[in-house]
Amino acid sequence: MPGVPAFILRRLYVKGSLQNTESGWGFTLKNSLGSGYAKGMQPMKIDEQELPMTSASFSQDGEDITFDRVTDKTTFGLKMNRSIVISVNGSQLTPGAHKVWMGFIVPGFGKIGFDFTDEVKSA
């Protein structure tokens, strides 16, 4: 099954958007590749440590949806030229560089994923 190379998917990440939040940390994706959706998510990783699927979420139509709830019926949609914020509940990140990996299960492509490294600025 054909995949999508990580270097192309990496373009989804909005450079400089990795930041701490009140409830943990998060970042922004912006789709300039073409509309699509995922029918499943893979566990995110931060600095090679896998995160629980229930700790990562995104907002869709005013509802926060955790990664474990993404299915054929509740998809992770990435509309063209739209941004989506990924939020992770838990500990905040230390200032400095961090490597994040995230993956999707996309119809016609199967499991695809990418990583990026960015810095969290100190407060």
Q: What is the pLDDT of residues 83-94, one digit of tens each?
A: 999 999 999 999
Residue 34's pLDDT is: 84
Q: How far apart are CA 105 and CA 76, in angstroms?
A: 10
> Which pTM value belongs to this model?
0.92
What contacts 42, CB < 8 A, 6 or more positions away? 102, 103, 104, 105, 111, 113
In CATH, which of 1.10.3720, 2.60.40, 2.20.28, 1.10.3470 is domain 6-120? 2.60.40
Length of the chain: 123
Q: List, for residues 40-87, the tens digit of each pLDDT value.
A: 999 999 999 999 999 999 987 788 999 999 999 999 988 888 899 999
73 in the Ramachandran plot: left (φ > 0), alpha (ψ -120 to 50) or beta? alpha
What 3-state DSSP class applies to 7? helix
Q: How far apart are CA 60 and CA 76, in angstroms?
A: 8
